[in-house]
Amino acid sequence: MSDQLVRCEEARRKPARPKLGVFKFASCDGCQLSILNLEEDLLLLGQVLDIAYFPEASSRMVAGPYDLALVEGSVTTAEDAQRIQSVREQAKVLMTIGACATAGGIQALRNWTDVELLKRTVYPSPQYIQSLYTSTPISGHVKVDMELWGCPIDKGQLLRVITDLLAGVQVRLSSDSLCLDCKRRGNVCVMVAKALPCMGPVTRTGCGAICPSMGRDCYGCFGPTDGALKGSGYPPNTASLANHFHGECGLIPVDVVRKFRGISGNAESFKREGDKWDMKK
């Protein structure tokens, strides 16, 4: 048998690499940029994964099905609502990445306002803007197998999840409160020392406590702690924290609402607390 035939036979017997697809919906592309920021690690992943569909990174677009689909962004148009159904059909495992895909993102602020008024205020020809009245997470439309929170996601956390999936290891994401990260880093509590309205007590870890490490309060980018999301534990005590913001940090009700209606404000426990304080304005 010739060397060429031998190589062809070896290629035929070699198991195919799992196919990865990365899809964008309504978002700022920050989470996709976090994937690109893996740099050398992304090149190594490319040796064991077939990065088949990733328009942010390559013009090469291979049709599904995909073993793993990463979805960034929320559903904000009728076309998005249809397209995510197609992505779900093509994906063996669908993982949402970032606050937009997991909670609706900052654009979910539209959920509490008059969208038609916004169109008339912002756009010179609002009749051409076709959008839904809400911004909703991917899980509101299709079954999601895994969620990676953050704004943007933490690239190290993403790398661990993907390598665990490739190795067939059960993926374990921390359900701790951000406060534990602050303790591990030796941070002085900004809420105690500076009376800043920090969302850390009710926010899941994952970012490495970036803002409190710089002396600033947490914005809740990584969403509520796990108990409220999976029913596997006690939900975050948002009521106690909101009362502390009002009583000890001096926030008026409208500012309490703004704290909970931030980047992950459409997540259920944050939404519920924001709505409650909205009635006190």
Where in the chain are the domains? 3-167, 178-278
Find the helix or strand (DSSP H, E) in which 65 lies.
none
User: Which residues in 38-172 belong to E strands, given as ranges?
Assistant: 50-53, 66-72, 91-97, 146-148
pLDDT at position 14 is 60
Q: What is the pLDDT of residues 44-63, one digit of tens each?
A: 999 999 999 999 999 989 99
> Given the structure tokens 């943007």, which residue do they identify?
152
Residues in the chain: 281
Kindly give, in sequence order, each residue whose CB lies less than 8 Å from that of residue 280, ignoring residues fewer than 6 positions away: 253
Residue 8 has pLDDT above 50, yes or no: no
Query: How sure is the predictor about 5, in pLDDT bands with cuts at 50, 70 and 90?
Result: very low
Residue 140 has pLDDT above 80, yes or no: yes
Residue 265 has pLDDT above 60, yes or no: yes
- What strand order describes the sheet that includes 19-24? 50-53, 19-24, 66-72, 91-97, 146-148
Q: What is the pLDDT of residues 149-207, one digit of tens each?
A: 999 999 999 999 999 999 999 888 887 899 999 999 999 999 999 999 999 999 999 99
Cα torsion 65, 141, 102, 116: sign? positive
Find the helix or strand (DSSP H, E) in which 187 lies.
none
Q: What is the pLDDT of residues 204-250, one digit of tens each?
A: 999 999 999 999 999 999 999 876 445 445 678 999 999 999 999 99
CA distance 18 to 243: 49
Q: How far apart, in Å, are the Cα atoms of 241 and each of 156, 201, 251, 259?
A: 29, 8, 12, 11
Architecture of the CATH domain 3-167: 3-Layer(aba) Sandwich (3.40)
Q: Which residue has the higher pLDDT, 232 or 111?
A: 111
pLDDT at position 173 is 84
